[in-house]
Structure 1
C-alpha cells in the first residue's frame, strides 16, 4: 500500500490539543511538477496554434510589416491611401498615440490580408494534381513552375499541422463520370446479360434519383471540410455490429531476422520510452510533413484514444438508419500512464515521475515488477478483454450495466484514458525453430487476435511484448488508417535499436530511481451475469479467430530493383501478379479492392482502386491462353498503365466507391431506395489488397543492415470466400506478403494462394525480362535467409 500513502498530499488528526496536520512533501512536489508539465504543454499548444494559424507567414513577419508601415509615415507617404487617417479618427486614445496606434492597426489588417492571400494561393496550388499523371522522370514546364511557386508560398520550417488550412477540399465527382467508371470496372466481371441489366439500372439512377442525391452531397461538400470522412468513420466503422477483432483491426510486425534483446522487460522499456518520445514530438508538432503536403488530421488521435461501443436504442433496420446510438471515438488531451496486461491482471503504470519521462531502464524495472508480481487475477478479470473482441452490442450493454459506476468504472476509465495498451505475452513468437515459415504464420495470428482476451481491441493501438523479446502492434481502424500507425511503429523500432540500444547483458541503459512507486493493480468487481457475457463474447471471438487462415512469407528472389529495370511500377507489377494468381487459384476473376490514400485533401482517408480491369483480365486470359510473349507483354503494359491511371485518379478525388457510398448514405437519410446503389454496395470484395510502403527510410540502413527490416503487417479477410493480401516492398530485393482467408471456405487456402503469388511473380518477371537468368534458389524455391535464434 506504499503507493496509496504516497498519493495522499496531507493528513490531519483531531486531538485534544488541536488539529495535528501532516504534509507529504513528496506528494505536494509531485502535484506541483505535474501541474508545471501540464501548463508547459498548454503553452506549447498555444504557441504552435499561433504559428500554424498564420502559416505560411510567421509571427515575426507581423513586426516587419509594422516597422515598414511606420517607416513610410516618416517619409510622409501614405501606403494606406487614407485608411490610417480614417482609423485614427475612431481611436479613443490621446492624440500623441493615435498616429502610431492607427498605423499598427492598419499594419495588422494588412498582415492578415497578406496571410489570407498567401494561404488562398497555396490552396489553389495544392489543388493542382496533373504532376501525378506525367511520365516518371519527365516533368513538364507547367509542373516545374508549380513546384517553384509551392516552394515560394510554403514558407519556412513548417510544423506538422501547418498545411492543414491550405489543403484543398475533396471534390465531388460528376454523377455521369462515376457511373461511367463503375460500369467500366465491372464489365469484365459480368456476362452480356448481367452487364446490360446493370447498365440499365445505372442509366435510370443517373437520369433520375442520382441528380437529387448529388445536390445534397454538393451542399455537404460546401459546408464540411471533407464530404466523405465523417460518414466513413461512422457508418463503415463505428456503427458496425460484428467484432472488430479480425474484421477491422490490423497488425504490424517486429524486425524479421533479428531481436535486439531476448529480455522481455528490457524490450518493453526501450520501446515504451520510444513511444512517448514520439508523442512528445507529436505534441510539439516536430514531426516533419512530407515533401508533398498530406493531411495530418489523423495524427491527433494516435495516443490517449479509445473506441467506445454503442448500444442502439432505436428501431433496428440497417446500419445506415438514423438511430440513437452512443458510439464514438473518445480522445483525451493527455495521459501520463499506460495500462499493462499480464497473466489476467491489469496494471496502471505511470511513465512520468516528478514531471519527467522515466528512462528506459526505469520502465524496464517497472515492467519486471509486473512480471514478478505473484498476485492472482480477481474474479472475472482474467478474460475481461474478450468483451472488446466479441460482438459490439453485447459489449455496449455490458459496459452500460456493469461498468458505469463504482470500482469497475474507475478501472475501465483508467484503461480507456491510458496513452496506449500493453500486453506482456507468455508465448514466444517470431521467425524461429525448425519451421520458420509456420512460426511466422503463428506470429501473424497472435498479433491479429492473440488469445482473444489478452488485448484491448478498442484502444487506438495495443503493443504486445513476447517472452523471447519479440514485439508487435495491433491497431484499431476507426480513428486512422494503417500508414499513420506504421509511421509511429517505424520511429519506435528505429529509436529502440539504433538510438537507445542495450547493454551487453541485454538490459536497457541508464540508472533506476529506487523510490519509484509500484505499478498499481486495477480492481474489479465482476458479477456472475457479467462473467457469463464475457464467456459468450469469448466464444464468438474464439470461433472467429480459429477460422482465420494466415500465411506470411518474405519473397527475396527479386524486388523493386529488378521490376523498375523492366520500366514498370512495382505496385502495378504486384497487382497484376495478384490478378494472375487469383485467376489460377479460383479459375475466375473477382472484384478487387486496393486501398489508396486521399490525404492530398483535407481530412482525407482512403479510396478504392478497382485493380481488376478489362485490361488486366485481357492480359491474364492471353497469358493463360498461350498467346505469344509479344502479345502478352503488350497487354501487360496496357494493364499496368491502366492500373496506374486508376490509382492516380483515386488519389486525386476521382475515385468511384466513396462517391457511391456517400450517395447511398444520402438516400438512406431521405428514405428513398435505389436498386443501383443497393446492388453496388452489396458486391463482395473477394480480393482485398493493401500496400504498406516504408515512410522513413532515413531511420534505417537497409544496405548495411538488411537484417533490421520489419516484415510489415496484415489484416483479416474481408469476404468469407475471399483473400486479404497486404504487401510491403522493402529495399531493392525484398517483398513481404501477408495472406489471410477463412478455413470455413473449402475453395481458399492461404498457403496455396501464397504459392500461386510466388509463381505469378516469377512468370511476370520472366515475361518482361526473358534474357535475364533467374536467381539461385534453394530446394523450396526460396533464397536462404537468416533466422532468429
Structure 2
C-alpha cells in the first residue's frame, strides 16, 4: 500500500509540474485568447468598468457580414435551382406573353383569369380599379402557369434521366430512340446548371426483383463453388425466394416509396458508422501528390498553396459554381449530394454508432506539428488570406519552439483505435472546459492539416521502396499524427510533398478525387510559386499568431491513448503497400484493340490472382450508382464464368484464337455487369438491404447470413481522372497524378486501386497484410512474405501477356498456341 501511495503521489507531482509547465509555455496562447474576447467588464466601488476590444469587434463584424453574404447567396441559388430547367427570368417572359395576348383581345386562360378576379379578396375589389384587378389576376394566372410549366419540364427531365437503355447499346450502333432521347436531353439541359440543379430531377434507385437478384447471385458464385456446394447454395436461394424473400421485398419496396434512396442511409450507418473497429487502414483511404515533380520544396509554401486551393474549392461548392459531374463524354448528370459534407465535417464516436456532424461554415483549419495542435485562421477582416499569408502563418507554427503539453503529442491515436474507448473518453473528459473548447476547434475546422517532419515521394536511391513508404505514411502515418475522424486531412511533408487521408462514411473516392484534382492543378498551374519556391502575394505581418490549443489531459486519458496507439500500431505494422506505375502501354493501346480499358485491367487482375493463388475468389469492383439521387456505390462481381474460362484457357495453353474469343466474351460480360450495377440492377446492395430488413423484423435467413459473410479476397477500385482539362499532359507530361489507394478488405486478400493516366500509363496501388503472407509462407507455398510486391509483379505479367495475346492477331508470324502458364510464381 505504501509503495502504491508513493507512486500515486509521484504521479500527482509530475502531473502538477507538467500542468505548470504547459501553462508557462502557453502564456502567449492565453494572451492571444484574451485578445479575442470582444469585451470585458469588472464591478468596482465606482461602478462597472467596461473594456472593449475594437480589434475583436472588428473581426466579429466582418465575420457577420461574410455570413450574411453566404446566406443571400444560398437563397439566390435555391431560387435558381428550384426552377431549373427554367430560369427565374422566364417568369417575366410568361407574364409579358399573357398580357400581350390579352391586349390583343384574346383570353389565353380560357376564362380562368376572370374566375381569379371574382375570387379576389373584397379589400382588393375596393382598393383596385377594374383594370388593376384584371392585371393582378393575370399576374396570378401567369405565375401559376409558369410554375406548372416548370413542374412539367422537371417531370420530363426526370423521365429522360430514367432512360438507361443507351448504356447497353454497342458503340456505333445507336438506336433511333436513343438519338431522340439525347436531343431532348440536350434541349432541357441547355441552360447552365448549378452544382445541385439536377438533384430533384434525378430518378430514385429502383428495387430489383428477388428473382433477378438471386439468379445473378447464383451465376456469380458458380465458378467459385464445387458441384455439391453450388447445389446447396441453389437450394438455400430457392428456399429464401419461396418463403422469407417476398416478405422482406415488400418492406423494402415500401421504404423505396418514401425514401430518397433505399440503400444509402443504411449503407452509411451499418457499413461505416456502426463499425466499432479502427477506421484507420480499415476504412480511410489516401490520395497522392504528383509522381515526378514537387512544385516547391518549401514546406510552408506548399501548405500555403494547398490550403488556399482547398478553400477556393470550398467557395465554389458553397456558391454552387462547380459544374455538375457527368458520365464521361455525355450530358448525363451524376448526383452531387456527397459534396454537401465535404468540408467542416467530423465523424464523432459513439458507443453503438458514430455520428457525422457538419457545420455550415468554418473560418479556420486545425494544424498538427511536432505534437502540438493549432488553430489557423484563414480569414481576416472578412477576406480569405493570400497564399503568401497562409505560408507566413504556417511558418510561424513551424518555428514555434514550445513543447507539447502532457498527453497532447499522441492524442490523435484515440481516433486511430477502437471506437468505443474513444467514445467513452470523449464523453468523460472532452465534454466541458478547456478540452471541450480545443476539441471543438479540431472538429469544427474546415479540414485538418498535418505538417509532417518526414520526407516522402519517389526519391533517392530506392524510388520504388520510397513510393511504398509514402503510401503507408498517407494511410496511417505514426497512428497519432492524423485526425482520422475529419472528413479529410491534408499532409504536408518536410520536402514539400503532400497527400490526403479521407474518412469514408460521408462520401466515396470519386468525390474526394475531384477535390484533389482541383487542388493539385490549382496549386501548380494557377497559384504557382516564385523562383525561390515561395507563395505569391503580399503579407500582412500584423496578423495574429496561430492559436495554440490548450489541453488538460488526465492520466486515465493518457493510458487509453497508449492502448489505442498499441491497437493502431499493430494494424499499421501489419499492412503492406506496393505502388508502381505501369508504363509499357495505357488506354491508348487498349482502345486500339477495341477493348474497354477497365474490362482489360479487371481480367488482368483475375489472371494475376489465379497465377498467385492457384484459384479464383470473390472479387469486388466498386461501381457508382450516382445516376440516381443520393446514389453511392454498387458491386461489380468481376469473377464470372466467362473470366474464369478465359483464364483457364490461357493458363492451359489453348489456341490463340480460342483465347482471344474467350477474352472478348469475358470483357463483354464484365461490361454488361458494370452497366447493370450502374443502372440499379446490381446484386449486393439489394441483398444487403434485405438482410437489414430481416434484422429489423427479427427473423433469421441462413441464405442472407451466408451471402453477407462471404469474404472479398480481391477488392478493386478505379480512381477516375475526371478533370482532364485541368492537366495539360501533352505540354507538362511530368505532372502525372499517382492516384490513391486503400487497405485490404479481407485479412487474407488484396486491395487494388488503379488510375488510368493519359494514353500510356496506369498507376497501381496494391495492399495486403504481412500476417497472412507469413502464414502462407510457412504453411502452404513457401512464398516471399511481401505479398503486395509479388502480386504487383503478377499484375504486370498479366497485362503484358494479354496485350501480347490480342496483338498477336495483327502479327502474321504468331504461333498457333499460347505457351503454358505456371500457376504460381515462386
TM-score category of the 2 structures, normalised to the smaller one: over 0.9
Q: 1: distance between equivalents of 2:478 and 2:43?
A: 53
State the TM-score, normalizing by the size of structure 1: 0.95
TM-score w.r.t. length of structure 2: 0.91
Which residue in 1 is equivalent to 2:153?
118
1:240 aligned to which of 254, 275, 279: 275
Matched, 1:26 2:55: yes
Alpha-carbon contact 1:408-1:525 (below 8 Å) kept: yes
Alignment match, 1:151: 186
Structure 1 equivalent of residue 824 of structure 2: none
> 1:252 maps to what in 2?
287
Aligned partner (choices 102, 113, 117) of residue 88 of structure 1? 117
Match of residue 459 from structure 2: 432
Q: Give 2:506's aligned residue.
A: 479
Residue 739 of structure 2 corresponds to 712
Q: Identify the residue that residue 162 of structure 1 maps to in structure 2.
A: 197
For 2:351, which of 298, 308, 311 is the aligned residue? 311
Structure 2 residue 95 is matched with structure 1 residue 60: no
Contact 2:346 2:443 in 1 (8 A): yes
Q: Separation in 2 of the partners of 1:673 and 1:417?
A: 42
Shift of residue 401, structure 1, vs aligned partner: 1.1
**Is 1:188 matched up with 2:228?**
no
Q: CA distance change for structure 1 residues 394 and 17 in 2, over 3 Å: closer, same or farther? A: closer
In structure 2, what is the equivalent of residue 136 of structure 1? 171
Give distance in 2, aligned partners of 1:523 and 1:21.
27
Aligned to 1:768: 806
1:35 to 61, 64, 68: 64
1:394 aligned onto 2:421: yes
1:214 to 1:771, Cα distance in 2 relative to 1, 3 A? closer
Separation in 2, partners of 1:66, 1:484? 41
Please say if 1:734 is aligned against 2:761: yes
Match for residue 725 of structure 1? Answer: 752
- In 1, Cα distance between equivalents of 2:718 and 2:61: 47
User: Does residue 1:300 correspond to 2:343, yes or no?
Assistant: no
Once structures 1 and 2 are overlaid, which stretch shifts more, 208-217 or 744-753?
A: 744-753
Shift of 1:336: 0.4
Match of 1:637 among 654, 658, 664: 664
Deviations 1:468-527 (A, max 9, x none): 000000010000000000000000000000001101110001111011000001111111
Contact 1:57 1:155 in 2 (8 A): no
The number of aligned residues is: 760
**Residue 328 of structure 1 corresponds to which residue in structure 2?**
355
Q: Structure 2: any 5+ residue segments left out of the alignment?
A: 1-27, 777-784, 812-826
Q: Cα gap change, 1:389/1:495 in structure 2, threshold over 3 Å: closer, same or farther?
A: same
Q: Match of 2:590?
A: 563
Secondary structure of residue in 2 paired with 1:655: coil
Equivalent residue runs for 1:511-526 within 5 Å: 511-526=538-553
RMSD across aligned positions (CA): 1.3
Work out whether 1:264 is the aligned partner of 2:264: no
Q: Separation in 2 of the partners of 1:231 and 1:156?
A: 35
1:154 Cα shift? 2.0
* Structure 1 runs, 4 residues or longer, greater than 4 Å off: 11-22
Q: Shift of residue 570 of structure 1?
A: 0.5
CA deviations on 1:6-38 (whole Å, 9 max, x unpaired) are: 313334566777655543332222211111100
Tell me which residue corresponds to 1:750. Answer: 788
User: Partners of 1:693 and 1:387 in 2: how far apart?
Assistant: 33
**Structure 2 counterpart SS, 1:80:** coil
2:644 is the counterpart of 1:617: yes
Does the 8 A contact of 1:189 with 1:589 survive in 2? yes
Would you say 1:684 and 2:711 are equivalent positions? yes
| Residue in structure 2 matched with residue 693 of structure 1 by the alignment | 720
Q: Distance in 1 between matches of 2:172 and 2:518?
A: 30
Correspondence 1:224 to 2:259: yes
- Residue by residue over 1:39-85, the C-alpha shift from the partner in whole angstroms, topping out at 9 and shown as x without a partner, is 00000000001111111111111111112112222222221122111
Q: Are the equivalent residues in 2 in contact too, given 1:633–1:767 (CA < 8 A)?
A: yes
User: Rg: which structure is higher?
Assistant: 2
Match of 1:776 in 2: none
1:651-670 equivalence runs, <5 A: 651-670=678-697
CA distance, structure 2, for counterparts of residue 29 and residue 139 of structure 1:
62
Q: Distance in 2 between matches of 1:509 and 1:577?
A: 46
Whether the 8 Å contact between 2:490 and 2:501 is mirrored in structure 1 is: yes
1:423 equivalent in alignment to 2:450: yes
User: Shift of residue 123 of structure 1?
Assistant: 0.2
Gaps of 5+ in 1: 313-324, 774-789
Instruction: Confirm or deny that 1:70 pairs with 2:99.
Output: yes
